[in-house]
Amino acid sequence: MKTKPVANRHNTNFINPNLLCQIVQKGSYISDLLAARSCSRQAECAGISSSSCVRTHYDPTTRCLCGDNSPPVNGQCEAVTKALYHVCANSDECNDGLICGTPNITGAAPAHLRVLSPQDKICLCDVESGYREKDHTCNDAVILKTSIFAIAVMTCIRKILIN
């Protein structure tokens, strides 16, 4: 199994750190993001290499964005791995805490999932590993709670054994 770049472990729907520098230095990232093509179907992003029709937690509009949720530059994306909701072929393409799978799209599916066709596979939170989706991000709160509980139990056992 090949290794993937480590993402922010508490939020796998992260913004590329280089883009954060753009926000501070130029103040242009938000305007660039808003300039990204809006979309209502995944097929509308087919002409932009490695992009997906996604909605992020910081923009209510679905747009053709690169895997790191940045806007494409000259119709190209440089992101290596993909964040939540991005179209994928296998889990190796997705950030840590995400797996590539078919979303449960029913009549009551949220608007940001209705851009997909039934055969599309996207990066989803890895529920089996303890990641949960909330507000268009994945978090590992279940893993964190379990770890804290285990530390507390081990501390108590250690104190008992020392005395």
Over residues 24-69, the pLDDT tens digits come to 444 444 555 557 889 999 999 988 888 999 988 778 888 999 999 8
Q: What is the pTM of this model?
A: 0.64
Supply the mean pLDDT for the chain. Answer: 75
Tell me the CA distances in angstroms from 160 to 101, 125, 148, 150, 157, one per residue in order.
46, 39, 19, 15, 5
pLDDT bin (cut points 50, 70, 90) of residue 149 is low
- C-alpha to C-alpha distance for 133 and 161, rounded to whole angstroms: 40
% of residues, the chain, pLDDT over 70: 69
Q: How high is the pLDDT of residue 87?
A: 93
